[in-house]
Amino acid sequence: MDSDIDTLLKLQQLDLEIDNLKKLIERLPEEIKSLEKKKSDLILKFDKIKNDINHLEALKREKELDIQTYEDKIVKIQSSLEKVKTNEEYKALLREKAHAEEAIMELEDEILNIMEEIENLREEEAKLKGIVDKEKVEIEKEIQEKEKELEEAKEKLEKLLKEREEFSKTVRPPLLSKYEMIRKKRNGKAVVIVDSDTCTGCFMIIPPKVYSELVKSKKLLTCPHCGRFLIYRES
C-alpha cells in the first residue's frame, strides 16, 4: 500500500503545481493590463499639461489680436478727431477712444495672467517629464518581466499537463477515480498528513480507532469528516 501512498502524493504534487500555474496564468494578464493602464495614465497626465499650455498660448494670441484690433481702432479715431466739426462728435470719439484704451489695459492684464499660468505649467511639465520618463521605463520593464513570466508559466504548464497525463496511467483506475472525486470536492487537495491525531485538511480530530489503525497499518484510509486520504508520517 506504500506504493499507493507515494503515487497519490506525487499525483497531488503535480496537481497542486498545475493549479498554481493556472492561477498565475489567469492573474498575470490582469497585472499586465493594470501596469499598461498606469503607464497610459502617466502619459495622459503629461499630455494634458501640454494641451493646457497649447490652449493658453492660443488664447494669448487671440487676445493679442484683440489688442491689435483696438489699437487700429484708436489710430482711426485719432485720425477722425482731426476732422470732426462739432463738439458732440469730438466728445463721442474721445469716449470711444477711452473705451478702446480701457479694453486694451484689461486684455494686457489677462495676457499677463495667461503668461504666468503658462510659465507655471511649463515648470510642472519639466518636472513631470523626468518623472514620467523614469516611471515609464520602470513600468515597461515590469511589463516585460511579467510577459516573460507568463510565457514561462504556459510552457511549464504544458509540460506538467503531459507529465500528469502519463503519470495518471500508473495509478489504479478505482484509486484515481476516488482521488479525482475527493480533489474536486475538497478544493484541489485530496491527500493530507495527520498531525497529532488531527486531519490537516479539515482540522478535525481523527477517531482513536481510525488513528490507531492508520498508525499501525499501511492501509490507505480516509478522514471520516472530510473524506480526504490520510497519511501518517512518524515524527
Band of residue 2 on the pLDDT scale cut at 50, 70, 90: low
- Please give the average per-residue pLDDT across 189-198, as a whole number: 92
Q: Give the long-range contacts of residues 214-221, CB within 8 A, separation 24 or more.
A: 218/1, 218/2, 218/5, 219/1, 220/1, 220/4, 220/5, 220/8, 220/175
pLDDT at residue 108, rounded to an integer: 96
Q: Is the pLDDT of residue 196 over 90?
A: no
Band of residue 149 on the pLDDT scale cut at 50, 70, 90: very high
- What is the phi/psi pair of residue 229, to 5°? -70, 135
DSSP string, 110-159: HHHHHHHHHHHHHHHHHHHHHHHHHHHHHHHHHHHHHHHHHHHHHHHHHH
Say which CATH architecture domain 17-171 belongs to. Orthogonal Bundle (1.10)
Q: Is the pLDDT of residue 154 over 80?
A: yes
Can you state the percent helix, strand and coil of the chain, rounding each to 5? Answer: 80, 5, 15
- Please give the average per-residue pLDDT across 58-72, as a whole number: 96
- Please give the average per-residue pLDDT across 42-59, as a whole number: 94
Q: Is the pLDDT of residue 235 over 70?
A: no
174 against 2, higher pLDDT: 174
Segment 69-81, tens digit of pLDDT: 999 999 999 999 8
Residue among 20, 62, 10, 39 at smallest CA distance from 157: 20
pLDDT at residue 62, rounded to an integer: 97
Helix (H, G, I), strand (E, B) or coil at 227: coil
C-alpha cell at 130: 523626468
pLDDT at residue 1, rounded to an integer: 52
- Please give the average per-residue pLDDT across 101-122, as a whole number: 96
Every domain of the chain with CATH number 1.10.287.1490 lies at 17-171
C-alpha cell at 231: 497519511
**Highest-confidence range of 2-16, 49-63, 73-87, 128-142, by mean pLDDT?**
49-63
pLDDT at residue 215, rounded to an integer: 87
C-alpha cell at 7: 503515487
- Please give the average per-residue pLDDT across 76-97, as a whole number: 90
Report pTM.
Answer: 0.70
pLDDT at residue 146, rounded to an integer: 97
Count the neighbouring beta carbons within 10 Å of the beta carbon of residue 60: 18
Band of residue 119 on the pLDDT scale cut at 50, 70, 90: very high
